[in-house]
Amino acid sequence: MSTLHWHNSDVEVHRLVVGSYDNNVFIVRCRHSGEAVLIDAANEHERLLDLSQALGVRRILETHGHFDHIGAVTAMREAGYEVSVLGADAPMLADVGYDVLLDGVEMIEFGRLRLRPIPTPGHTPGSVSFHLEGTPLLFTGDTLFPGGPGATHFDGGSFETIIASIDQLLMPFPADTVVLPGHGLDTTIGTERPHLSEWIERGW
């Protein structure tokens, strides 16, 4: 499929870019069972529904509650998809709703795959990244991008907190870890790690 972004013998990762903010939406699929999850129901719900039905999506995981990442949540829930979000960002979904509060600890299992949630506050209080166990893939939402951290000037944002999240929780991953952010292109931990002190000095 034209949306196929990364794969090996066990996993398919599909990527769509949607909405006026060019949000990345990722679908992670187990090639053995056909079960999948969708990360960030951002916008263009018709496209997301079509692909979700084709790829066996079972549930939706939100990396955080900003409006540009939840624009398709209402339509996806109406179609029967369960939406999960970390508790600290749940109030941001008050208008669109959610179904499950992630505790930030419990593994998310589908087919033979396991996604490990990593609470990474700073961009929002309830921002969460996801590591796909057994692969080099790290989905970082708006916490880490090529060239630095996500914005922290919104309500609930904290530059000091996002830097701590990146430094303590993401930078320890191996250098070849592939970072799949909420907007823009992929990068790697090895590419970004040497620049952490520069980000701290510039203050954004």
**The domain that contains 43 carries what CATH number?**
3.60.15.10
CA 23-29-30 angle, to 5 degrees, is: 160
Per the structure, the complete domain to which residue 14 belongs is given by 4-202
Q: CB-side exposure of 144: number of CA atoms within 13 Å?
A: 32
Give the count of domains, the chain. 1
pLDDT of residue 181: 98
Name the nearest CA neighbour of 3 among 53, 55, 72: 55
Cβ neighbours of residue 92 under 8 Å, at least 6 residues apart?
64, 65, 66, 70, 124, 126
What are the backbone angles phi and psi of residue 102, rounded to the nearest 5°? Answer: -75, 135
**Rounded Cα–Cα distance for residues 108 and 76 (Å):** 19
pLDDT of residue 24: 98
Q: What is the pLDDT along the chain (204 residues), one digit of tens a residue?
A: 799 999 999 999 999 999 999 999 999 999 999 999 999 999 999 999 999 999 999 999 999 999 999 999 999 999 999 999 999 999 999 999 999 999 999 999 999 999 999 999 999 999 999 999 999 999 999 999 999 999 999 999 999 999 999 999 999 999 999 999 999 999 999 999 999 999 999 999
